[in-house]
Amino acid sequence: MHQRLLPFAVAFVFAGCGGPTGDTPKGPTDLRKIAPGELRAPSDFAGIEDTRARSQALFLEASRVFTHPRCVNCHPNGDIPHQGMNMQLHDPPAVRGPESHGVVGMECTSCHQDKNQALTRVPGAPHWALAPLEMAWVGKSPREICEQMKDPKRNGGKSLAAIVEHNAHDALVGWGWHPGADREPVPGTQEQFGAIVAAWAESGAECPAEGARP
Amino acid sequence: MSVRIRVNGVEKTLDVDPDMPLLWALRDVLGLTGTKYGCGEALCGACSVHLDGQVVRACVTPVRRADGHAVTTIEGLSPDGSHPLQRAWVELGVPQCGYCQAGQIMTAAALLKAKPKPSDDEIEQSMAGNLCRCGTYARICAAIRKASGMPEGER
């Protein structure tokens, strides 16, 4: 019961006793309601007047993609990739290997091709591989992912512009929206996601508070 | 579509659907039936061959991926069955039914080429995708160690 009441309580605190007025800055709780498979547009965040808060809210929106099993599964915090919405360990038993491409005889591309295999259900996309260990997302909060993503020592030496480009156009990232078979895609489209990440970068690339969740 | 592949050292031109599994091209078009069809889903390793030296599961590899590249099958591992792994396999009597053994040997060959003296962990990790329903795993590992020149009891 307490969990059911919590959203109303939060809304009450943000809105004040009289509800939103023209004088009250919009907060993240005022965001447009969307279905689980949708992604908000940057314009949905325009009402958050505080730039830092808007940037944090944009990253939280993007983290609905970053923390989705479809993405996290190949950002393991150990040496074994995950698979499926339940994030079970990869079967057949594959391991990271020295360059995150698997080991001899069990390279990622021993089985995964440059596109999904419809008949066999083996997922595929160009340069299929694990993210390096320093980019592990399993078990990480949106803030931790944000901090890693901005850290050139842990993001492959990427600038913010390169991060935006990677998220907006990389083919392996794009697989998340077209996972094939009966796999659940990540929310929205890659174009919408790219726009959210770009808006986050343009608004200062602020990281959400620890504990903040989308 | 015409696909050019160097198969076991010989240039071949195949007029096939580019999405045909490499396994079908090898077995049905070229008659190289040493490579076996197991699960058809990259889960068992029976169809393992080398594509430019890398192990791939031929059952899920579209033949277009091999266009302009070199493929080695069990028939091409050695001209006369004298590869150290093949000799070790015979000496230790590794196979039971034998169906998975071509895939096992091809994966083991890639491993030894990359790591001539693999540790037990490295053998286990590399061979983990090759299943044997007869359970000959202990003999497979022993034969790999023998082919690598390591005493069987050494750890």
* Residues belonging to chain A with any Cβ–Cβ distance to chain B shorter than 8 Å: 92-95, 103-107, 109-111, 113-114, 117, 120-122
For residues A190 and A55, give the distance between their C-alpha atoms in angstroms, rounded to a whole number.
19
Percent of chain A with pLDDT strictly greater than 90: 86
Q: What is the mean pLDDT of residues A144-163?
A: 98
Q: Is residue A104 part of a domain?
A: no
Instruction: Spell out the long-range contacts of B145-149 with Cβ–Cβ below 8 A and sequence spacing 24 or more.
Output: B146/B88, B146/B91, B146/B92, B147/B83, B147/B84, B147/B85, B147/B87, B147/B88, B147/B108, B147/B112, B148/B84, B148/B112, B148/B116, B148/B117, B148/B118, B149/B116, B149/B117
- Beta bridge pairs of residue B69: B5
The chain A residue lying nearest B103, using CA atoms, is: A105
Name the amino acid, one letter, at B11: E
Q: Is residue A118 part of a domain?
A: no
Q: Which of B60, B65, B72, B120 is the best residue to mutate to test the A interface, defined by the most A CB atoms within 10 Å of its own CB?
A: B60
For residues A47 and A13, give the distance between their C-alpha atoms in angstroms, rounded to a whole number.
18
Q: Do A104 and B55 touch (CB under 8 A)?
A: yes
Q: Do A105 and B61 touch (CB under 8 A)?
A: no
Helix (H, G, I), strand (E, B) or coil at B4: strand
Segment (H or E) for B111: helix B101-114
Q: Which of A95, A107, A114 comes nearest B54 by C-beta?
A: A107
Where along chain B do the CATH 1.10.150.120 domains lie?
84-147
For residues B26 and B37, give the distance between their C-alpha atoms in angstroms, rounded to a whole number.
11
Q: Do B129 and A120 touch (CB under 8 A)?
A: no
Q: Do A120 and B62 touch (CB under 8 A)?
A: no
| Dihedral sign, Cα of residue A19, residue A25, residue A30, residue A32 | positive
Q: Is residue A167 part of a domain?
A: yes
CA dihedral A48, A54, A56, A60 (to 10 degrees): 70
For domain B84-147, say whether CATH 1.10.150.120 is its number.
yes
A139 CB burial (10 A radius; 0-12, 13-18, 19+)? exposed
Q: Is residue A209 part of a domain?
A: no
Sort out which chain B residues have CB atoms less than 8 A from A121's CB and list them: 41
A78-115 per-position pLDDT tens digit: 999 999 999 999 999 999 999 999 999 999 999 999 99
Count how many pairs of residues, chain A against chain B, have C-beta atoms within 8 Å. Answer: 65
CA distances from B13 to A180, B10, B27, B57 (A): 32, 10, 15, 21
Q: What is the mean pLDDT of chain A?
A: 90
DSSP B62: B
A67-80 per-position pLDDT tens digit: 999 999 999 999 99
- What is the predicted pLDDT for the residue at A13? 35
Q: Which of B60, B107, B130 comes nearest A111 by C-beta?
A: B60
CA distances from A22 to A25, A29, A42, A152, B39 (A): 8, 16, 21, 41, 64
The chain B residue lying nearest A119, using CA atoms, is: B41
For residue A26, name the pLDDT band (cuts at 50, 70, 90).
low
The chain B residue lying nearest A121, using CA atoms, is: B41
B69-121 per-position pLDDT tens digit: 999 999 999 989 999 999 999 999 999 999 999 999 999 999 999 999 999 99
Instruction: Spell out the long-range contacts of B13-18 with Cβ–Cβ below 8 A and sequence spacing 24 or more.
Output: B14/B63, B16/B63, B17/B63, B18/B62, B18/B63, B18/B64, B18/B67
Segment (H or E) for A162: helix A160-169
Comparing A18-32, A33-47, A174-188, B70-84, the range with the smallest average pLDDT is A18-32
Sort out which chain A residues have CB atoms less than 8 A from B107's CB and list them: 105
Where along chain B do the CATH 3.10.20.30 domains lie?
2-76
Q: Measure in Å the smallest separation between the Cα of A99 and chain B Cα atoms.
A: 14
- What is the predicted pLDDT for the residue at A4? 44
Sort out which chain A residues have CB atoms less than 8 A from B141's CB and list them: none
Among B96, B74, B95, smallest CA distance to B83 is for B74
The range of the structural domain enclosing residue A136 comes to: 37-87+132-202
For residue A47, name the pLDDT band (cuts at 50, 70, 90).
very high
CATH of the domain spanning B2-76: 3.10.20.30
For residues B35 and B100, give the distance between their C-alpha atoms in angstroms, rounded to a whole number.
9
Map tokens 């965040």 to a residue: A45
Q: Measure in Å the smallest separation between the Cα of A102 and chain B Cα atoms.
A: 9
Q: Do A122 and B127 touch (CB under 8 A)?
A: no
- What is the predicted pLDDT for the residue at A203? 98
Q: Do B115 and A104 touch (CB under 8 A)?
A: yes
Q: Which of B60, B65, B107 comes nearest A105 by C-beta?
A: B107
- Interface pTM (ipTM) of the complex? 0.95
CB atoms within 10 A of CB B98: 14
**pLDDT at A11 > cutoff 70:** no
Q: What is the pTM of this model?
A: 0.90
